[in-house]
Amino acid sequence: MSKSIILSRLERKNILILGYGREGKSTYHFIKQHLPEVKVTIADANPLLDITEIKKNKDAYILGKNYLHTISTYDLIIKSPGISLKNHLTSIQRDNLSSQTDLFLQAYANQCIGVSGTKGKSTTASLIYHILQSSNIASLLAGNIGTPLFDIIPLINEHVKIVMELSSHQLEFIQKAPATAVLLNIFEEHLDHYLSFEAYQQAKYAIARYQQKNDTFIYNTDDRLIKKLLQLSLPHSQLLGFSYAPSTLSACYIRDHSMMYKHNDKEEKIMEIVTNDFPLKGKHNLANSCAALLAVLPLIPIEKRKNLKNVVYSFQSLPHRLEFVATINDISYYNDSISTIPQATIVALEAIDNVNTLILGGMDRGIDYTPMKNVFFDSQVENFIFTGKAGKRMMQLCQAVSHKKTFFSNDYTEIVAIAKNVTRKHHVCLLSPAASSYDAFTNFEHRGNVYKELIKNT
């Protein structure tokens, strides 16, 4: 039984669970359920953590700013995704370091479709899951998208396909990769978590590096950094490329308003693309849909592929991703709060017509904002509203290269009021911040929800 592989890694160990958020609690409950005698210590930076359950079970805990000081003394460290070990890697034996994702893949990798990328992974994983469910293929969706992997173990049998959304933090210390791995893109992100941008890239590439000979790696042939990683180190798996435009390296792409699948030098039209009706906006989403199709096509009989168009077109886009909010007083409002890097904002502007006002900024993580120069200089956007420390940096760049109208506020009530006042009738106001939300919000969902509420209620 696959679960026994996980238990064999845990039994008779002195275990440290590093981080006691959603995934840390999931790991703790799994251990207590199956191996109640195992010694577990919880370590978390939050000194006010609710430790009632830990005390009840007579387990140890380390809370507060010194929570990482004893990590070298444990047989097994199970790291939660949100915790950076960039300054502690030399004090830990690599064999002692694991994660819930690593343990799960040791047991279930052969049943897994893993999706990663700086942007687009939640939508692509959800689309894959939607296609499988709509095609009556037993499947589960978990990982970074919200459900901890250990929580779905009771639902797994040998016939179930497991769709996993995987962040770089979850991939960083894996030693086995999903049988089907999808890597959508790599952009500069999470520089606060890693020693370098190169370290972040290597964490992402682990999804391919640890694959086996009969596995499949689905990758974006247009992504410069992915191509560079492939040139430096080819995975053992079989490679399948995807792209928006036809490419000699791509097995799935868009041509003549159709999604095409190329296999053994033969082209097959999977579906026609009616741009206005397609559930996901933008060329990047069409390319990512090609990646999703490559992941599921081996599982769908040829005679059932004729229904794929109806299945894909029935997919509903996730909130906070080029999400239409409302049209009020002839101004249309869109919420793209998921945008935390410049490249995401750039593709958002390509996907949505008539953007007149753009809201930018938030927490400054030191990423390069020079890609925004073209937005400030060449785009049709007339009004830029900036917020946060990242917004201050972008505002300085904007004022240096263009004469567009700029505004600044750290109050979203005022931001929305400005937008309502300055946006032209029959045009669009777009929230696509190109920055993290953690300076003022719990997460990007919180930011997007506040924005939507303010639009609808003021």
Q: What is residue 59's predicted lDDT score, i.e. its pLDDT?
A: 97
Domain boundary among 287, 313, 339: 313
Q: What is residue 1's predicted lDDT score, i.e. its pLDDT?
A: 62
211 in the same domain as 109? yes
Whether residue 113 contacts residue 295, with contact meaning beta carbons closer than 8 Å, is answered with yes
Alpha-carbon distance of 34 to 37, in angstroms, equals: 9
Alpha-carbon distance of 342 to 75, in angstroms, equals: 41
303 in the same domain as 269? yes
Structural domain count, the chain: 3
In order, the DSSP letters of 91-104 are: GS-GGGEEEHHHHH
Local structure of 447: helix, strand or coil: helix
Residue 129 belongs to a domain? yes
Residue 1 belongs to a domain? no
451 in the same domain as 377? yes
Alpha-carbon distance of 366 to 390, in angstroms, equals: 8
Domain boundary among 282, 313, 344: 313
Q: What is residue 458's predicted lDDT score, i.e. its pLDDT?
A: 73
List b or e across 185-198, with b for residues whose CB sees 16 or more CB atoms inside 10 angstroms: bbbbbbeebbeebe
Q: 193, 199, 184: which is closest to 366 by C-alpha?
A: 193
396-441 pLDDT, tens digit each: 999 999 999 999 999 999 999 999 999 999 999 999 999 999 999 9
107 in the same domain as 248? yes
The residue range of the domain holding 31 is 12-92
CATH of the domain at 412: 3.90.190.20
Q: What is residue 82's predicted lDDT score, i.e. its pLDDT?
A: 87
Residue 153 belongs to a domain? yes
DSSP H or E stretch at residue 17 = strand 14-18
Residue 5 belongs to a domain? no
In terms of DSSP bridges, do strands 180-183 and 112-116 run parallel, antiparallel, or are they unpaired? Answer: parallel
246 in the same domain as 227? yes
CATH of the domain at 35: 3.40.50.720
Q: What is residue 277's predicted lDDT score, i.e. its pLDDT?
A: 92
Domain boundary among 270, 291, 313: 313
The token duo for 42 is 């919880």
The token duo for 303 is 């005679």
Q: At what angle do helices 283-296 and 342-351 cross, to 10 degrees?
A: 100
221 in the same domain as 261? yes
137 in the same domain as 18? no
373 in the same domain as 343? yes
Backbone angles phi, psi at 288, to 5 degrees: -65, -30
Whether residue 188 contacts residue 368, with contact meaning beta carbons closer than 8 Å, is answered with yes
Q: What is residue 254's predicted lDDT score, i.e. its pLDDT?
A: 98
The token duo for 412 is 């979203």
Q: What is residue 295's predicted lDDT score, i.e. its pLDDT?
A: 98
219 in the same domain as 154? yes
Residue 97 belongs to a domain? no
395 in the same domain as 256? no
Q: Which residues of the chain have pLDDT under 70?
A: 1
Q: Which residues contact 351 (CB under 8 A, 6 or more apart)?
A: 281, 282, 283, 284, 285, 322
Q: What is residue 381's predicted lDDT score, i.e. its pLDDT?
A: 98
| Rounded (5°) CA angle 247-252-256 | 75
CATH of the domain at 213: 3.40.1190.10
| Residue 40: count of CB within 10 angstroms of its CB | 24
Q: What is residue 89's predicted lDDT score, i.e. its pLDDT?
A: 82
305 in the same domain as 352? no
173 in the same domain as 148? yes
For tokens 């805990």, name the residue: 61
